[in-house]
Structure 1
Amino acid sequence: MGEQITNQQPVYPLAPESKIPKSDEESNTLLSNELRRKKRIKLAIYIAAFVVFQTIVILIFSLIVMKVKTPKVRLGTIELRKVTTTAGTQASSPSFDISFTTQVRVKNTNFGPYKYDSSNATFLYRGVTVGEIFIPKGKAGMLSTKKVSVIVSVNSNALTSTTSLGNELGTGTLTLNSQAKLSGKVVLMFVMKNKKSAQMNCTISIKLNADNAVDLNCK
């Protein structure tokens, strides 16, 4: 038999799948870890900044908004209505009879209203009460001043000794003092109530020989 000649193509083994070199894999892994690390650092910075900001806000709120200050009560501008004085003679004692208009001003610098009870303001000459006015209960709003207009009448009828009065009238100046105390509460956030008493101490100097000018000094 004759030989059979077969034409067969040579068989080559399949090439292995291409792989990323090991060094490239490690590089990608390191890069991914570095990105995650930077993200965590940024997140930590944002959180820290937020905490600091909140702390500052709370601190400012506590020191400014929630801090309760004592309201102030003062007299406003005095306008004289009647001034009658007698220097004194052998037949009569020194005396004065004066009336004027003014305002009782309650200044509230708190971030909440100040509610106060009714009270009185007294006017004194050398420690002796020579006049008095009634201050009705009221409310001074947040960061505002409550103004109450009043008419004041003072005279020397209650003085038991008028020697010093005669000397003072002779100098052309009559000095009076005014005192008052208001008791009330400052209300914060509609809930917190803090008791506060506002006090007034004013000195009134009436210049009898200078068109009845008035000097007012309140503490």
Structure 2
Amino acid sequence: MGCCNSRTKKALKIGCGITAILLIILLIVAITLYFTILKPKSPEVTTQSVTLETVRLEPFPAFHLNITIGLILTIHNRNYGSFKYDSSRAYVTYRGDPAAEAPIEADTIPARADHDLSTTVLIDSDGFSKNPNFLGDLFSGCLNFTSSTALHGKVTVWKVLKLKARTVSTCDISVFIKFQNATSVCKSKIKF
């Protein structure tokens, strides 16, 4: 009976040792997967087109400038999970002064996919024409704006892991009045 008891203890120790080794291996694999594949990455935002749709300048009786910009951005979701975001707004400023805002409708960006986001922004000079730099920039023929957008939503990985996320995008937009065109450069990052 003592011999059987020592065999049982030895088998139990071996079983516990193998189980512990397997758990450590699974933990290492899970950590490696997270930091190499599943770790949330910032989406890449590229500007497909910035079009200056209209420029309306009324110098008299009171100075007034309206600029309509069409903006198409492509958001590349580099993650292995989809990103579903809520409705939001894009804000445009001129040297820190409010210039415009535009609605952004709720949508989902599938995992490892591209998503086009288009919006039209009507910029009205009433909000920023008193800025001391405005007349100098206007006469130089180039007005520089900054747009910012925060999209709040959830990242879903393999329909199991759901994380609240927020992606913040900023674009520097240059409007060339004389040439009737515009350019932009965008940056984006995701926060969990």
> Gapped runs of 5+ residues in structure 2?
1-21, 188-192
1:148 pairs, out of 101, 117, 133, with: 117
Aligned to 2:71: 102
Q: Secondary structure at the match of 1:113?
A: strand
1:212 and 2:184 equivalent? no
**1:170-208 deviations in Å (ceiling 9; x for gaps):** 111111110110111111121101222111111111122
Q: Secondary structure at the match of 1:157?
A: helix
Q: Residues of 1 paired with 2:39 and 2:104: CA distance? A: 27
Q: Residues of 1 paired with 2:175 and 2:128: CA distance? A: 18
Q: Structure 2-normalised TM-score?
A: 0.73
Q: Residues of 2 paired with 1:59 and 1:120: CA distance? A: 36
Contact 2:68 2:123 in 1 (8 A): yes
1:77 and 2:45 equivalent? no
Tell me the number of residue pairs that the alignment of Structure 1 and Structure 2 aligns.
164
Q: Structure 1 residues 84, 132: closer, same or farther in 2, change over 3 A?
A: same
Contact 1:74 1:200 in 2 (8 A): no
1:131 and 2:97 equivalent? no
Q: Secondary structure at the match of 2:79?
A: coil
1:187 and 2:179 equivalent? no
Q: Residues of 2 paired with 1:72 and 1:119: CA distance? A: 19
Give the deviation of 1:71 after TM superposition.
3.2
Aligned to 2:147: 178
Q: Residues of 1 paired with 2:99 and 2:113: CA distance? A: 31
Q: Which moved more, 1:115-124 or 1:144-153?
A: 144-153
Give the deviation of 1:78 after TM superposition.
0.7
Give the deviation of 1:102 after TM superposition.
1.5
Report 1 or 2 for greater relative contact order, CA contacts < 8 Å, sequence distance ≥ 6: 2
Larger % of strand: which? 2
Give the deviation of 1:216 after TM superposition.
0.8
Aligned to 2:40: 68
Contact 2:49 2:73 in 1 (8 A): no
Counterpart residue type for residue 33 of structure 2: F
Contact 1:97 1:154 in 2 (8 A): yes
Q: Secondary structure at the match of 1:77?
A: strand
Q: Structure 1 residues 107, 191: closer, same or farther in 2, change over 3 A?
A: same
Q: Give the alignment's Cα RMSD to 1 decimal.
A: 2.7
User: Percent identity over the alignment?
Assistant: 26
Aligned to 1:29: none
Counterpart residue type for residue 170 of structure 1: F
Decide which structure has the larger Cα Rg and report it.
1
Counterpart residue type for residue 123 of structure 2: V
1:199 and 2:168 equivalent? yes
Q: Which moved more, 1:98-107 or 1:125-134?
A: 98-107
